[in-house]
Amino acid sequence: EAGVTQSPRYAVLQEGQAVSFWCDPISGHDTLYWYQQPRDQGPQLLVYFRDEAVIDNSQLPSDRFSAVRPKGTNSTLKIQSAKQGDTATYLCASSLRGRGEQYFGPGTRLTVL
Amino acid sequence: SQWGEENLQALSIQEGEDVTMNCSYKTYTTVVQWYRQKSGKGPALIILIRSNEREKRSGRLRATLDTSSQSSSLSITGTLATDTAVYFCAARNMGYKLTFGTGTSLLVDP
């Protein structure tokens, strides 16, 4: 069974530039999560979906961050105008409804100069 | 212990030694999950303990949970160099959201 895949693996931007991260969850997993993991810290939930619906985006900086999952499968997280404080690894995870285990992808390491 | 504003903790031990990591959580939870994250990889679940369990074992791993003090621990016996990783505890709420601690970086020297 293929795991969660993410691309790109690395991104380096100047402040003010935009970037998109893509996630392909495990086939059949209806729940998808995006986390931000600053260096030397634990993952912090940004947003999560059940199928195509946003369940909780309360931690998503809505003025610059957006996330979609239009068909309930793949998902894209976009930062419209990156800031140095956005430097972190962005992790995608998926799970089955009613099952607590989340399966994580390898992450995208973002550096904003 | 890991949580709140604390920085990543670091432990360095020799292969074969036993180690225990502690975690305290602030949100209500019925499940604490422990994840292992190796360099360049995403976290992977290694053991899960529920509020009706005081102790859970899986191979060389042992997790405890004390809901009265809102704390959990992870012990690894007979560590191997391959146990080198960052270990996170995560409290799960009723909606399956996870709140992660700050983590413990474990280095096991062969």
B8 or B17, higher pLDDT: B17
Return the pLDDT at B8.
Answer: 76
In terms of phi and psi (left: phi > 0; alpha: psi -120 to 50; beta: otherwise), the region of A30 is alpha
φ and ψ of B54, to 5 deg: -90, -25
pLDDT for A7-26, tens place per residue?
Answer: 999 999 999 999 999 999 99
Q: How far is CA B2 from CA A20, B9, B60, B87, B88, in A?
A: 31, 7, 21, 10, 8
Q: Quote the number of domains for chain A.
A: 1
Closest CA to A29 of A8, A7, A48: A48
Tell me what pLDDT residue A14 has. 97
Reported as a single tens digit per residue, the pLDDT across A41-100 is 999 999 999 999 999 998 998 789 999 999 889 999 999 999 999 999 999 999 998 777
* Cβ–Cβ gap B42/A107 under 8 Å: yes
The answer to whether residue B6 scores a pLDDT higher than 60 is no
- pLDDT (tens digit per residue) in B13-71: 999 999 999 988 877 788 999 999 999 999 999 999 998 998 999 999 999 999 888 88
Please give the residue range of the domain that contains residue A68.
Answer: 13-102
Classify residue A1: in a domain, yes or no: no
CATH classification of the domain holding A74: 2.60.40.10
B9-98 has which CATH code?
2.60.40.10
Q: Is residue A110 part of a domain?
A: no
Among B31, B42, B98, the residue with its CB nearest the CB of A45 is B98
Q: What is the pLDDT of residue A100?
A: 77
User: What confidence score (pLDDT) does residue A33 get?
Assistant: 96
**A86, part of any domain:** yes
Of B42, B92, B96, the CB nearest to A106: B42
